[in-house]
Amino acid sequence: MTMTRRQLVASIPAAALAAGLPRGATAQDGRKVVTFWFGQANSDGQAALRNDLVEAFNASQDKYLLQLEVKGAAVNNLLKVALVAGNGPDIVQTAGPAYLTAIANAGQVLPLDDFAEKYKWKDRFLAPLLNTSVYGGKLYALPRDYESMHLFYNKELFKQNGWKLPTNRKEMEEVADAALAKGIIPFGAGNADWKGVNEWLMTVFFNNVAGPDNVRKALAGELPWTAPPFVEAVELSKAWYNKGYFGKNYFSLTIEQSFLQVVNSKAAMAFSGTWSFGTKSYGMSKPDTVMDVMPTPTLGSAFSGSLVHLACGATLSIAKTSQNAEGAAAVFEFMLTRKFYETMNRDWPGKWALPVKDLPPDMLQGIGYPLFEKTIANLHEAFSKGQYGFTTWTFWPGATNSYLIEGIEQVWLNKITPDAYLTRMQTLFSQEAKEGKVPPLPPRTA
């Protein structure tokens, strides 16, 4: 349908009115409004959200009108305050199960079991990710995506220098030392704009040195964080930092600057997440002649081979006080359509990779992004088989995770010992475990 200029002008006030409608309101055309707050989105992401989600959903039916507000980095704080005050959005998006736990425990979001039965969500989602939102036998959220830490590397640089892809710690250190000798930074890394980069690295060290089984035992309270495998993990992170593997300017470079070091051959590798595919400025082209990506190899003796890390970057729930829960559920169901999956992943790769069985990654083959396609396919297979490690931002409770991020800087900068760091982590974790703040743990297989 095409609109005349007059119709377009006439629709502007109606659109403006709809954008400002409060939750539970009815739009001018009689549709019930569904409100949704989103956190940070770059310009590509915002365009994708408007086109592929909001406009596509609103055009798909005549009962509900989805209203999106991009709230920025402080969305998690705003959301908590708004929920307590009863003024939050209908759709409650959190930054992952660790954030959802407090909100679900406080009863601020609705159990989704009835909707899950109606739309067969429990059969459709990958169980390990869906189960991270099950509390007391009730489902409180749907996972929006799957993520993992991966090893991104400059394949041109590897080829020029004759370096082989590392399969264990020894080989990784050989490549890193060879890079250092040539004045190349082994791992492009920087946390000037986001301290969470610390936990990206510690997710790799904890899982790939201590092993995912030991991490799971610690999260289940069966092994203290002060146990030798974790001491070895923290000590290795400190040794690598002090050897200069992360460069001299880790605390001064932004994520983008540090990643571009790899793209520009100033650094050889980077531990980064699958969300990196969604940032065009990182310079990873489609298809790519410079960059490549692989699961992170083992860095200890706990396992051999490589490992992906189970993460859910965002959960989607419905507010307890929502007056349009059916509309919110209808939006969720829309997100599970093939068309949305394809368009959203084409326009904003890595951000909305729904972990749904009937949306297999081979559907992404048409988007022309081989690196992303192979990574998601690998994740889908590993997560389906239960072969994964555990990311800190998905499974560590809030205070413990906050200390994991802040305290490791003290270790790397020789302010405290690895033992002191892990002892403090254990103290915080024990307290939070006692208070029921540890997110649910999915099983894993070898």
Partner 1 sequence: MWLFALPALLINICIILVPAVLTFTAAFFIWDGVGTPMWAGLANFQNMVADPVFWSALTNNFIWTAIFLTVPVCLALVMAAALLMAPKARIVVQSIIFLPRIIAVAVTGRIFQGMIFSPATGIVAWLNEHGFSISDPLADPDRSLYAVAAVDIWHWWGFLAVVFLSAMRQISVDQIEAARLDGAGFFALFRHVLIPGIRPTLTLMLILTVIWSFQVFEFIFIVTRGGPAYGSEVLATFAYRHAFFEGDVGQAAAAACVMSLFGLCATAVYLWLQITDDAQST
The DSSP call for residue 360 is -
Please name the residues in contact with 185: beta carbons below 8 A apart, sequence gap of 6 or more. Answer: 179, 244, 245, 246, 247, 261, 266, 267, 268
Which of these segments, 35-43, 178-186, 282-290, 398-406, binds partner 1 (CB under 8 A)? 398-406
Check binding of 415 to partner 1 (CB under 8 A): yes
Check binding of 433 to partner 1 (CB under 8 A): no
Which of these segments, 16-24, 49-57, 80-88, 142-150, binds partner 1 (CB under 8 A)? 80-88
Please, which residue, 21 or 192, has the CB nearer to partner 1?
192
From 38, 71, 98, select the one nearest 219 (Cα to Cα): 98
Check binding of 40 to partner 1 (CB under 8 A): no
Residues 243 to 282 in contact with partner 1, rule: CB under 8 A: 248-253, 257
Tell me the C-alpha to C-alpha distance, in Å, between residue 421 and each of 125, 225, 239, 307, 415.
37, 10, 15, 25, 10
Up-side HSE of residue 194: CA atoms within 13 Å toward CB? 14
Check binding of 156 to partner 1 (CB under 8 A): no
Which of these segments, 54-62, 202-210, 219-227, 406-414, binds partner 1 (CB under 8 A)? 406-414
How many chain residues touch partner 1 (CB under 8 A)? 31
Check binding of 430 to partner 1 (CB under 8 A): no
Which of these segments, 181-189, 272-280, 281-289, 408-416, binds partner 1 (CB under 8 A)? 408-416
The token pair at 130 is 């869906």
Least distance between partner 1 and beta carbon 104 (Å) = 9
| Burial class (CB within 10 angstroms; exposed 0-12, middle 13-18, buried 19+) of 57 | buried
Pick from 42, 46, 60, 105: which binds partner 1 (CB under 8 A)? Answer: 105
Check binding of 398 to partner 1 (CB under 8 A): yes
Exposed e or buried b for every residue in 284-312, given b needs 16+ CB within 10 A? beeebebbbbbbbbbbbebbeebbbbbbb
Largest separation between any pair of C-alpha atoms in the chain: 72
Residues 173 to 232 in contact with partner 1, rule: CB under 8 A: 192, 195
Least distance between partner 1 and beta carbon 410 (Å) = 4
Pick from 31, 50, 80, 286: which binds partner 1 (CB under 8 A)? Answer: 80
Q: Cα(367)–Cα(350) distance, rounded to whole angstroms?
A: 12
Element of type H or E holding 143: strand 142-143
Least distance between partner 1 and beta carbon 78 (Å) = 10
User: Are 421 and 234 within 8 A, CB to CB?
Assistant: yes
The site for partner 1 (CB under 8 A) is made up of: 76-77, 80-81, 83-84, 102-103, 105-106, 108, 192, 195, 248-253, 257, 398-399, 402-403, 406, 409-410, 412-413, 415, 437
